[in-house]
Structure 1
């Protein structure tokens, strides 16, 4: 097992993503750790270092951290979201080859959003009913488009999002649903509270 200081940046970053996902999907995270050849202790240590780096008074900012850990982005493009014009930077994430880690920045370089998105040219899963909402199968944007109109809700922690929407269940009956995401990737969904 590699020593954490010797872990390559992309591997260490994947462990940071997994640490937050472990709260909702410990079984999937365990499988991912085995596939990556690392331990839960490695994951906790990578997250501890990331948090210390992110909250250090000498921190150079989120975008500098991503570039330092992940290297040059695979792609960069200008995107307009409402009145905001931002730069979208994307990096591959080996654990999820059909996804990219996307960082949206303002013209001044501040990070506005950071999450997993579908890689260009990769097909999104067919989302027709609540039974299609399997953990780690889809992103926030894909669920919002499939079950429009979806209403964003406050997440339970940083890097978490929730969406409320109505989707047909397996019998075709409309069902008020809430889906929870971590780093933009679906973790779980269930009936919306009445």
Structure 2
């Protein structure tokens, strides 16, 4: 996504890592509009910028000339901060991670095969960054943890079908604020907690 101008020809349209963060935020806006609005202010962009960045991302993703998701991530985010390997059953994937300035303790991680197919795309805790203390449902606040962290803290967690692309859900039992066990469903967007439902 190279920088462009808006229809008035005056303001530059966000590009690079800022544009990618707007793509992440667009999916989160349905559940956490207040947090998204705060993030837009931090990025010094508007809701119109967010919608335009998402529109361009979707057009890019569905273009017949698209070089694939991994190429899109490299084009927007540049050289990965780190690379490694992850196992998916019998398959070994290459893991590439990039920093995400809005969430300095997180990284955006993509798992890809040698052929370039992408198996997973999610926000994860940065190596060495302390994770949250997840003991009760009161600790499960929006944007506080990743899907992996919630699954480990409240094992055994059962994955459920997501409500849209890039959205996942986990069902598990966790102590409520009063200590009594509660069955809940947690919803995540791009791997980051958005809300918890009884």
Instruction: Please report the TM-score for the alignment, with normalisation by the length of structure 1.
Output: 0.95
1:73 corresponds to 2:44: no
Q: How is 1:25-174 mapped onto 2 (pairs within 5 angstroms)?
A: 25-174=32-181
Q: Per-residue deviation at 1:122?
A: 0.2
Residue 182 of structure 2: SS of its match in structure 1?
strand
Deviations 1:22-49 (A, max 9, x none): 0000000000000100000000000000
* Alpha-carbon contact 1:165-1:176 (below 8 Å) kept: yes
Which of structure 1's runs of 4+ aligned residues deviate more than 6 A? none
- RMSD of aligned alpha carbons: 1.0
Structure 1 partner of 2:5: none
Query: Contact 1:100/1:116 (CA < 8 Å) preserved in 2?
Result: yes
Structure 1: segments with no counterpart, 5+ residues: none
Question: How many residues align structurally?
Answer: 189
The whole-number CA distance in structure 1 between the counterparts of 2:122 and 2:87 is 17
**Contact residue 2 and residue 38 of structure 1 kept, 8 A:** no
SS in 2 for 1:171: coil
| 1:84 CA displacement | 1.8
Q: Find the aligned partners of 1:112 and 1:147 in 2 and give their Cα distance.
A: 24
Aligned mates of 1:101, 1:157 — CA distance in 2: 19
Cα distance, 1:159 vs structure 2: 0.3
TM (norm. structure 2) is 0.93
